[in-house]
């Protein structure tokens, strides 16, 4: 029987707790939001691994769910600015005044409430994934076709959110946030709290994902990945399982986006860029598909590498990303965790076939 | 209804096919196929490659929709309106021509997933193992002779062992009808005979339809044989009866 917290999950959670407690002591405060951002990416990677690594659903649009969660939180932060914006309009965010809106669009209603916005950060990505998955999986779209339409989904949202008429700040997105729940976003204590929340969200979602994959439902998901028709002929409605895991995964991605936005201080349509979604896949592949912990580690490694490369050799990043992708595909089919397992044991028991 | 000129009457049959046709791009893979099988019967279906044996199973199990014809379960349930999962839940289990098991799961988990139990997402999310399930898995492992491989990954089984595991997964579903497509493929002579004995022991309590090429295997089953040719029934009866017929020898046995 598979344990909820296996050895590597336990190790990871312990290391995460330790690092979260140590970070404020060893890092300057201005780096704390950066670390918090990394943890959000790690959470996003766990979300993708849940549906790709276990159910075989290779989503190339998970950046969209992340961005939608981010927009939901960003909308709340815009509303919290209130009358302190440049135009001092208590009812409308600055960009709406600038664009000549005379009233708040209906889809902005309620976002002044934090609980409502937090709920929307989960519900909107979840609902989109549910509806999208319902149609795709019921029509038995799978494999590369599914990947392509998820990529098209995020691209369509990119184009839509770029338009000023959409009412989400167009090209510039949402920014100039001041406070969350009355706490200044630039205050060290707020930054620490957001960082701590990101760590807690990562740990919580990791445990939730473990609970799913170690349940009988998780074994059905792997069964679908390994032999979909066999699963159907055993009487399982495969589409129900696929929609379920895709939706849960999208909600986790939305949560990651909602925690990301107050720490980076901006959300704009660039988050919907197809390349972002592909990068998530690289994180998971590099860390080790179907391992959850590996996905989180993969995100941390690649994102740290990206931070360093874009600072030292700004032109090199895309080549490095491409090179990494090829390296993982050819040399590390089970990712870094697979490599570690190969060194740890003479004959590893491969959990995932490429 | 016209009385069928086939094994059992519509009312008595557990599985009843009449005038079933299906073409692919103009090619008639199944062409006016009629077949009736009674509860508890063991039936062998033989026929040359491309005769439509696998397609017939696809139609019974909801994978392929026929263009025309009747497919009835227990005289009243129209199988052509159901999807694979619904047909499986009626108690119709199917073994594929190419052995198909969950390669990255253990042998034990393969059987656990197949055990008759609620199939919904919520039910499996909240599922807890029971002593009764453990006992059923242990009994099945004994029956398919994979008890020593209980914890092994299914990917590491031999071809013949995978065939048996898949039969075990069918049995775990506690089906009323088993459709078994070429079980002896890739088996040694000894394994083939053991498989025939296993299927004979299963029949009676359940209905078993076996597609097979291996004539020694079919002889060992010692049951009624249906010969399929170009998507229709060419002959039906005992193996001695059908193998004496000139048309059967022509299309199949005399190759
Ligand atoms: N999904 C399909 N699409 C196109 N042709 C098919 C399909 N399924 C079966 N056929 C064709 O139907 C014929 C019967 O195939 P099959 O039922 O597999 O025969 P058998 O199992 O008796 O060897 C073959 O010519 C095969 O190519
Ligand atoms: Mg066949």
- Using pLDDT thresholds of 50, 70 and 90, give the confidence band for residue A213: very high
Nearest Cα to Cα of residue B182 among B253, B100, B252, B73? B100
Does residue A54 lie in a domain region? Answer: yes
Cβ-count burial of A115 within 10 angstroms (0-12 exposed, 13-18 middle, 19+ buried)? Answer: exposed
pLDDT of residue A182: 93
Integer Cα distance of A79 and A142 in angstroms: 40
Q: How many helices (H) and strands (E) does chain B have?
A: 10, 10
- Name all residues whose Cβ lies below 6 A of ligand 1: B 24, 29, 47, 49-55
Query: What phi, psi does B28 have (nearest 5°)?
Result: -80, 95
Mean pLDDT on A211-233: 96
Helix (H, G, I), strand (E, B) or coil at B224: strand
| Min Cα separation A251/chain B (Å) | 18
Integer Cα distance of B149 and A325 in angstroms: 37
Does residue A39 lie in a domain region? Answer: yes
Cβ-count burial of A241 within 10 angstroms (0-12 exposed, 13-18 middle, 19+ buried)? Answer: buried
If you write DSSP's letter for every residue of A29-61 in order, what string do you get? GGGHHHHHHHHHHHHHHHHHHIIIIIT----S-
Helix (H, G, I), strand (E, B) or coil at B227: strand
Does residue A194 lie in a domain region? Answer: yes
Integer Cα distance of A141 and A134 in angstroms: 10
* Residue A353 pLDDT greater than 70, yes or no: no
> Residues of A with CB below 8 A from B153's CB?
349
Percentage above 70 pLDDT, chain B: 96
Residue with the two structure tokens 């339409």: A149
* Residue B1 pLDDT greater than 60, yes or no: no
pLDDT of residue A108: 96
pLDDT of residue A341: 79
- For B12-29, write each residue's pLDDT tens digit: 899 999 999 999 999 999
Q: Is the dihedral of CA B163, B164, B170, B172 positive or negative?
A: negative
Q: What does pTM read for this prediction?
A: 0.92
Q: Do A1 and B129 form a contact (C-beta atoms < 8 A)?
A: yes
pLDDT of residue A351: 47
A interface with B, Cβ–Cβ below 8 Å: 1, 212, 215-217, 219-220, 222-223, 226-227, 229-238, 240-241, 244, 349-353
User: Do the chains contact at B101 and A1, CB–CB below 8 Å?
Assistant: no
Nearest Cα to Cα of residue A298 among A265, A256, A340? A340
Does residue A292 lie in a domain region? Answer: no
3-state helix, strand, coil in chain B (%, to 5): 40, 25, 35
Ligand nearest the Cα of residue B185 is 2
Helix (H, G, I), strand (E, B) or coil at A297: helix
Does residue A238 lie in a domain region? Answer: yes
Mean pLDDT on B131-154: 96
Integer Cα distance of A273 and B115 in angstroms: 45
- Using pLDDT thresholds of 50, 70 and 90, give the confidence band for residue B38: very high
* Residue A61 pLDDT greater than 60, yes or no: yes
Percentage above 70 pLDDT, chain A: 97
Q: How many domains does chain A have?
A: 1
Mutate to test the pocket of ligand 1, among B35, B46, B49, B50 (most ligand atoms within 8 A of CB): B50
Q: Give residues with Cβ within 8 angstroms of A213, minimum separation 6.
A: A50, A54, A221, A222, A292
- For A142-198, write each residue's pLDDT tens digit: 889 999 999 999 999 999 999 999 999 999 999 999 999 999 999 999 999 999 999
Instruction: Please provide the distance, in angstroms rounded to a whole number, between the alpha carbons at the two ends of chain B.
Output: 38
Q: Do A82 and A176 form a contact (C-beta atoms < 8 A)?
A: no
pLDDT of residue B248: 87
B185/A135: higher pLDDT: A135
Please give the interface size between A and B, counted as residue pairs whose CB atoms are below 8 Å apart. Answer: 83
Cβ-count burial of B9 within 10 angstroms (0-12 exposed, 13-18 middle, 19+ buried)? Answer: middle
Percentage above 90 pLDDT, chain B: 83
Does residue A162 lie in a domain region? Answer: yes
Ligand 1 centroid from CA B31, angstroms: 12
Q: Is the dihedral of CA A158, A164, A170, A171 positive or negative?
A: positive
Structural domain harbouring A245? 27-273
Does residue A16 lie in a domain region? Answer: no
DSSP B253: I
Does residue A145 lie in a domain region? Answer: yes
Integer Cα distance of B79 and B56 in angstroms: 12
- Using pLDDT thresholds of 50, 70 and 90, give the confidence band for residue B255: low
Q: Give residues with Cβ within 8 angstroms of B248, minimum separation 6.
A: B227, B234, B235, B242
Ligand nearest the Cα of residue B46 is 1
Q: Do B252 and B48 form a contact (C-beta atoms < 8 A)?
A: yes
Integer Cα distance of B104 and A327 in angstroms: 24
Extended beta strands in A77-229, E state: 174-175, 179-180, 183-184
Nearest Cα to Cα of residue B161 among B175, B148, B174? B148
Integer Cα distance of A209 and A240 in angstroms: 17
Integer Cα distance of A137 and B139 in angstroms: 36
- Using pLDDT thresholds of 50, 70 and 90, give the confidence band for residue B254: low
Q: Which of A234, A236, A247, A352 to mutate to test the interface with B (most CBs of B within 10 A)?
A: A234
> Residues of A with CB below 8 A from B112's CB?
216, 219
Token representation of residue B100? 């198909």
* A30 to A37, A140, B108, B125: CA distances (angstroms): 12, 48, 52, 42
User: Do the chains contact at A215 and B121, CB–CB below 8 Å?
Assistant: no
Q: Give residues with Cβ within 8 angstroms of A194, minimum separation 6.
A: A33, A36, A180, A259, A262, A263
pLDDT of residue B8: 58
């Amino acid at each position: 029987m598979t344990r909820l917290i296996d050895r590597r999950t336990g190790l990871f959670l312990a290391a995460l707790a330790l690092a979260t407690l140590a970070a404020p002591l060893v890092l300057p405060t201005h780096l704390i939001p950066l670390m918090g951002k990394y943890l959000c990416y790690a959470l996003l990677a766990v979300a993708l691994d849940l549906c790709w690594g276990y159910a075989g659903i290779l989503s190339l649009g998970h950046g969209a769910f992340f961005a939608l969660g981010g927009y939901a939180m960003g909308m709340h932060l815009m509303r919290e600015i209130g009358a302190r914006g440049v135009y001092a309009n208590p009812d409308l965010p600055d960009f709406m005044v600038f664009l000549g809106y005379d009233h708040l669009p209906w889809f902005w209603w309620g976002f002044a409430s934090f609980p409502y916005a937090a709920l929307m950060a989960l519900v909107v990505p979840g609902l989109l994934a549910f509806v999208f998955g319902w149609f795709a999986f019921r029509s038995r779209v799978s494999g590369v076709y599914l990947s392509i339409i998820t990529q098209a989904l995020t691209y369509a949202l990119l184009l839509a959110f770029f338009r000023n008429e959409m009412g989400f700040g167009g090209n510039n997105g949402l920014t100039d946030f001041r406070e969350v729940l009355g706490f200044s976003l630039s205050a060290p204590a707020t930054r620490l709290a957001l960082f701590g929340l990101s760590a807690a969200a990562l740990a919580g979602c990791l445990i939730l994902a473990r609970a799913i994959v170690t349940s009988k439902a998780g074994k059905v998901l792997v069964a679908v990945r390994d032999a979909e028709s066999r699963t159907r002929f055993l009487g399982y409605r495969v589409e129900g399982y696929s929609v379920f895991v895709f939706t849960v995964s999208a909600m986790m991605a939305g949560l990651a986006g909602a925690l990301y936005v107050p720490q980076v201080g901006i959300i704009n349509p660039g988050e919907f860029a197809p390349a972002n979604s592909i990068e998530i896949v690289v994180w998971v592949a590099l860390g080790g598909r179907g391992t959850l912990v590996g996905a989180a580690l993969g995100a941390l490694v690649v994102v740290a590498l990206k931070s360093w490369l874009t600072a030292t050799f700004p032109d090199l990043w895309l080549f490095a990303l491409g090179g990494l992708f090829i390296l993982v595909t050819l040399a590390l089919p089970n990712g870094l965790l697979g490599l570690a397992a190969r060194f740890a044991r003479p004959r590893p028991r491969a959990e995932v076939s490429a | 209804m016209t009385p069928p000129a086939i094994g059992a009457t519509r009312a008595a049959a557990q599985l009843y096919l009449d005038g079933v046709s299906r073409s692919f791009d103009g090619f008639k893979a199944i062409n006016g196929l009629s077949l009736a099988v009674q509860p508890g019967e063991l039936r062998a279906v033989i026929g040359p490659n491309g005769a439509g044996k696998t397609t017939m199973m696809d139609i019974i199990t909801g994978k392929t929709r026929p263009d025309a014809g009747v497919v009835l379960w227990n005289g009243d349930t129209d199988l052509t309106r159901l999807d694979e999962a619904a047909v499986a839940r009626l108690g119709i289990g199917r073994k594929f021509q190419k052995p198909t098991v969950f390669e990255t799961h253990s042998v034990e988990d393969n059987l656990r997933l197949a055990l008759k139990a609620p199939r919904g997402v919520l039910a499996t999310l909240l599922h807890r193992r029971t002593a009764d399930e453990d006992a059923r898995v242990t009994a099945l492992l004994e029956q398919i002779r994979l008890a020593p491989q209980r914890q092994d990954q299914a990917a590491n089984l031999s071809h013949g062992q995978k065939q048996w595991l898949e039969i075990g997964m069918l049995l775990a579903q506690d089906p009323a009808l088993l459709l078994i497509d070429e079980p002896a493929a890739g088996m040694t002579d000894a394994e083939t005979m053991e498989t025939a004995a296993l299927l004979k022991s299963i029949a009676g309590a359940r209905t078993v339809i076996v597609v097979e090429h291996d004539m020694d295997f079919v002889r060992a089953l010692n049951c009624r044989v249906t010969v399929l040719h170009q998507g229709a029934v060419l002959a039906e009866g005992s193996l001695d009866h059908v193998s004496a017929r000139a048309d059967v020898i022509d299309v199949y046995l005399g190759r």
